[in-house]
A and B are shown apart, each in its own frame.
Chain A
Amino acid sequence: MNIQKLISNVRQAKKRRAINDFHRAPHGGVDVTDKEFNDALSLLKELFKQFKASGCKIDISFYGEVFVSLPESVHRFELAISNRPNIKSAEYLLKKLESVQFVKLDNIDAGNTLVISIKTIRPRAQWKHYSVSEFKDDYGLFTETILKEIRQRVRYYNNQNSNEWTVNYSSTEDKIAAIHYGGALYGPTSMLLYLSKHLRKVIYVKDLSISENQITLNQSYVTEETNHYFGKKESAFFEKYLLDYNAVSHDNDNEG
């Protein structure tokens, strides 16, 4: 496990993460401004060193998600870095904004801070956020805290399911997000915009596959599949943003 290689994978995945803005379930990973990207990477590097020393295995996905597996069990957890204001509850603010023009939050540590978030890999797992500044560059303590939290969480987990898990998989949501992003990027000159408009009205997509020059859409209430053909521009686009594009198959996508 070469740490430099892992970091360069995260760097390469950055451009693919543009589809996240159009994704209903965005991929975790490094979500910071361009200015802070290098800071985030050097932080990540320090953490990786510590994880490696503790015997953890680290994987980086196509979209730049960071997965760390515990040395003693099959369980993994996901790690994300983001830059967010120090605000806990958005629900509370939304409720308050129903009756007032704006909310003034006094006495908060102003400014954005780099935040490390972790969660286990389970359908409804919650993120836990740690402000980086709290640990004052003590990466050893930081990784210890993270691992302790994760071990606490996985204690009652069933071991079986985790074996089926893979680092990279392409979901229908990824493809839909790519179509929306492509539509926004190319505008009316591309068929992606029209398909994107259509997809917004669709409640449930049973299956959607993108092969060499066509998108096959299968909606639950329509028995027939619909085919949408695209050209070179879109093909180059999908190559850049989708993991298994060009695999000419009606893939057995996960439907969850």
Chain B
Amino acid sequence: MTNRNNIIVLGVNELYQEKQVQYPPTTLPTLCFFEFTQTLQDAIDDAIKLLFEHNLHEVVIHTSKVNWYFNLTDRYHHNIQSLIHIDAMNISFSGTLSPFKQSHFSTVKISINQLKYNHPPINSINLDQLTTPLAKGLINKIKHLSRQYSEQEDLYYGIEPIVSHLRELDEKIAFDIHLDGELQLGLLNKKGNQIYAKMEAIETEMNYLSEQLLYQIFGVTKGDWLSYIAANSESSTQLQFEHCRVYSTTINIIGPGITKAGILGKREQYINIEFGEE
């Protein structure tokens, strides 16, 4: 096969060193070369699927398709164990030169989108897709969590003023009225913290579900370029999907905007997808 693929060149950095083992300078490569083939692209896509299915942060796979160049000696070394690290947006490579046991150098992270395209395609978001049964199921779950979240929120902000009142009272009154005051305050504080922790857990779950929704319904993941025209607006919003969050009955997709020149701008933009009340 004489495919003419792109060869990608990356700089290489030393990783954190164990105190016991120090790595001589001859064992640190200068450049990393790899070929961006269809096989590699498929492997990355599979890994991203895996990330979503199991809620993982990073997938690491052995690879032999990388070349490490050592500028110091003008050589390519072949007895290096290489790993490819894939997260939702980026990939990087790390390596271990035999006889060392742990990865001791790594490339910088590069965006999968930049790798794939000179100009990433812009996916438009079509709200009609939200009517599929899968979408409805996910939305219901999110709504349910959202309701739980606001209940907990009400509780949390219900406790808050009581605690501050009690504190004020405690300070004002010089009598021994506070014999159990400390105890009550402590209990309320503890309860407040518990509720807050629960709120955070629900929020994480909601964000996870909304990422799932965006991935499974609209086919978009972090790093994708999106465009969206809101129902009551004429101009479209274009941005790179960086993170998302749920607020009440809305999913906010947040990321840097795409300028007219087709590059990433500095200002943050929002896309708000409402799924409305039942």
Instruction: Name A residues whose Cβ lies closer than 8 Å to a Cβ of B.
Output: 18, 20-26, 31-34, 82-85, 87, 90, 93-94, 97, 101-112, 127, 177, 180-181, 184-185, 187-188, 193, 196-197, 200
Interface of A is mostly: mixed
Contact call B22/A21, Cβ cutoff below 8 A: no
Contact call B67/A188, Cβ cutoff below 8 A: no
Segment of B5-13, B170-178, B189-197 engaged in the interface with chain A? B5-13
Contact call A85/B7, Cβ cutoff below 8 A: yes
Tell me the minimal C-beta distance from B69 to chain A in angstroms: 6
Contact call A104/B75, Cβ cutoff below 8 A: no
Q: Known: A82-B76, A83-B78, A184-B21. Is A110-B5 also a contact (CB below 8 A)?
A: yes
**A109→B64 CA distance, assembly (Å):** 18
Segment of B93-101, B161-169, B244-252 engaged in the interface with chain A? B93-101
**Does chain A have a CB within 8 A of B133?**
no
**A193→B20 CA distance, assembly (Å):** 9
Segment of B24-32, B201-209, B213-221, B259-267 engaged in the interface with chain A? B24-32
Contact call B9/A32, Cβ cutoff below 8 A: no
Inter-chain pairs besides A24-B26, A32-B78, A33-B64, 19 sampled, C-beta below 8 Å: A18-B98, A24-B73, A33-B78, A83-B78, A85-B76, A87-B7, A93-B31, A102-B110, A104-B6, A105-B7, A106-B6, A110-B5, A181-B99, A184-B24, A184-B27, A187-B20, A193-B21, A196-B24, A200-B25
Contacts of B30 in A (CB 8 A): 90, 94
Contact call A187/B71, Cβ cutoff below 8 A: no
Q: List 12 A-B contacts (CB under 8 A).
A: A22-B26, A82-B75, A90-B30, A94-B31, A101-B111, A102-B9, A102-B108, A102-B110, A105-B8, A181-B99, A184-B100, A200-B25
**A22→B26 CA distance, assembly (Å):** 5
Contacts of B8 in A (CB 8 A): 102-105
Contact call A23/B31, Cβ cutoff below 8 A: no
**A108→B7 CA distance, assembly (Å):** 7
Contact call B79/A90, Cβ cutoff below 8 A: no
**A157→B10 CA distance, assembly (Å):** 40
Contact call A180/B2, Cβ cutoff below 8 A: no
Please tell me which one of the listed residues A184, A188, A200 contacts residue B99 in the complex, with CB atoms under 8 A apart: A184
Contact call B27/A22, Cβ cutoff below 8 A: yes
Q: Known: A87-B33, A108-B7. Is A197-B26 also a contact (CB below 8 A)?
A: no
**Does chain A have a CB within 8 A of B35?**
yes
Please tell me which one of the listed residues A31, A34, A94 contacts residue B71 in the complex, with CB atoms under 8 A apart: A94
Contact call B76/A90, Cβ cutoff below 8 A: no
Interface residue tally on B, bucketed by range: 35 or more
**Does chain A have a CB within 8 A of B72?**
yes
Contact call A180/B24, Cβ cutoff below 8 A: yes
Contact call B76/A83, Cβ cutoff below 8 A: yes
Closest 7 interchain pairs by CB?
A110-B5, A103-B9, A105-B7, A185-B99, A33-B78, A97-B11, A84-B76
| CB-CB nearest in chain B for A86 | B7
| CB-CB nearest in chain B for A87 | B33
Tell me the minimal C-beta distance from B277 to chain A in angstroms: 45
B80-101 CB contact bits vs A (8 Å, 1 = yes)? 0000000000000000011110
Tell me the minimal C-beta distance from A65 to chain B in angstroms: 14
**A184→B98 CA distance, assembly (Å):** 9
Please tell me which one of the listed residues B2, B24, B74 contacts residue A22 in the complex, with CB atoms under 8 A apart: B24
**A181→B3 CA distance, assembly (Å):** 38
Contacts of A25 in B (CB 8 A): 73
Contact call A21/B79, Cβ cutoff below 8 A: yes
**A187→B99 CA distance, assembly (Å):** 10
Contacts of B7 in A (CB 8 A): 85, 87, 104-105, 108, 110
Please tell me which one of the listed residues A20, A105, A109, A197 contacts residue B6 in the complex, with CB atoms under 8 A apart: A105
Contacts of B5 in A (CB 8 A): 110
User: For residues 106 through 125 of chain B, which have their beta carbon under 8 Å from a beta carbon of chain A?
Assistant: 108, 110-111, 114-115
Contacts of A22 in B (CB 8 A): 24, 26-27
| CB-CB nearest in chain B for A199 | B24
Contacts of B27 in A (CB 8 A): 21-22, 184
**A107→B33 CA distance, assembly (Å):** 15
Contact call B24/A200, Cβ cutoff below 8 A: yes
Contacts of B62 in A (CB 8 A): none
| CB-CB nearest in chain A for B26 | A22
Tell me the minimal C-beta distance from B261 to chain A in angstroms: 18
Contact call A85/B67, Cβ cutoff below 8 A: yes
**Does chain A have a CB within 8 A of B147?**
no
Contact call A85/B20, Cβ cutoff below 8 A: no
**A187→B101 CA distance, assembly (Å):** 10
**Does chain A have a CB within 8 A of B77?**
yes
Q: Known: A180-B24, A184-B99, A185-B99. Is A109-B31 also a contact (CB below 8 A)?
A: no
